[in-house]
Amino acid sequence: MRLLYFAWVKEKAGVAAEEIQPPEGVATVAELIVWLKARGPEFANAFARAEVIRAAIDRSHVRHDASIAGAREIAFFPPVTGG
């Protein structure tokens, strides 16, 4: 699946987009965040305050308990500040 990062999540993680294949057992957005945090200090820092990070699956907002099964594109970003 494709992961996208925006705003300060992108800056801290040091990457804007990547293709990943999470291991078996990573079933939800929350579990994916835990897995991402373990990849290195940049990701641990980007997701340090996991509770404030928002997520979207295939371009729709989702909660952290959402299933990632079948997701093609998952995005992580801070609370939005447009308008």
Partner 1 sequence: MIRVQQEDFDVGAEIARLRADRTDIGAIVTFLGTVRDQGGAVAEMTLEHYSGMTEDELSRIEEEAHARWPLQASLIVHRYGSLRPGDNIVLVATASEHRDAAFDAAKFLMDYLKTRAPFWKREDGPGGPRWIEADARDETSMTRWDKSSAAE
Cβ pair 57, 30 in contact under 8 A: no
Name the DSSP class of 78. Answer: P
Cβ pair 67, 31 in contact under 8 A: no
Closest contact distance (angstroms) between CB of 25 and partner 1 is: 28
| Subset of 45-74 contacting partner 1 (CB under 8 A) | 56, 59-61
Q: Is 1 in the site for partner 1 (CB under 8 A)?
A: no
Closest contact distance (angstroms) between CB of 35 and partner 1 is: 22
Cβ pair 44, 4 in contact under 8 A: no
Residue from 23, 25, 70, 79 in contact with partner 1 (CB under 8 A): 79
Closest CA to 64 of 32, 20, 38: 32
Residues of the shown chain interacting with partner 1 in the complex, contacts defined by CB under 8 A: 4, 6-8, 56, 59-61, 75, 77-83
